[in-house]
């Protein structure tokens, strides 16, 4: 019961942030990153405020958590988001190695208020040449130089 109450407490903080953010000109999204039952980072949606399309609540919370822990690896951390993460945020959560996600609103709830991610999910399932933003390989052999250098570099940090 204790841990269930803690989960609810952390989710309530993410929801509080999402509501507070609306009052300051941001989108209705908030997130917290928790480690060892302690909030180590908070984030809100700052897309329109900062003119940054990547400034989603989860991404901002991850950035703050990485700074707080001085690490790009957030293994052992949990993220609580006021809404089910979009594809970009979900990818960031995986890249950060966050262990678990709790969310309030669903992606269907978000779609009902005009935050519809279905287009992005569809695009990700399409072949690169069939996407709305066409991706074309260019100078692949030349680009391989950096990958060869990376594999030969003894002091590389694996992530």
The residues that are catalytic are 58
- For residues 97 and 75, is the Cβ–Cβ distance under 8 A? yes
Ranges of beta strands (E only) in the chain are 30-35, 38-44, 78-83, 100-105
Q: How far apart are CA 32 and CA 41, in angstroms?
A: 6
Q: How far apart are CA 36 and CA 38, in angstroms?
A: 5
């Amino acid at each position: 019961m204790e841990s269930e109450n803690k989960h609810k407490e952390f989710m309530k903080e993410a929801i509080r942030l999402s509501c507070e953010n609306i009052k300051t000109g941001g989108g209705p999204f908030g997130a917290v990153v928790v480690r060892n039952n302690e909030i180590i980072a908070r984030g809100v949606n700052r897309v329109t405020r900062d003119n940054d399309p990547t400034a989603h609540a989860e991404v901002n919370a991850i950035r703050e958590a990485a700074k707080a822990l001085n690490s790009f690896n957030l293994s052992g951390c949990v993220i609580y988001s006021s809404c089910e993460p979009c594809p970009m945020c979900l990818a960031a959560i995986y890249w950060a190695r966050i262990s678990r996600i709790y969310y309030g609103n669903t992606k269907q709830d978000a779609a009902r208020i005009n935050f519809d991610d279905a287009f992005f999910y569809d695009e990700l399932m399409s072949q690169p040449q069939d996407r709305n933003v066409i991706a074309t390989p260019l100078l692949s052999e030349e680009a391989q130089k950096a990958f060869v250098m990376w594999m030969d570099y003894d002091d590389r940090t694996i992530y």
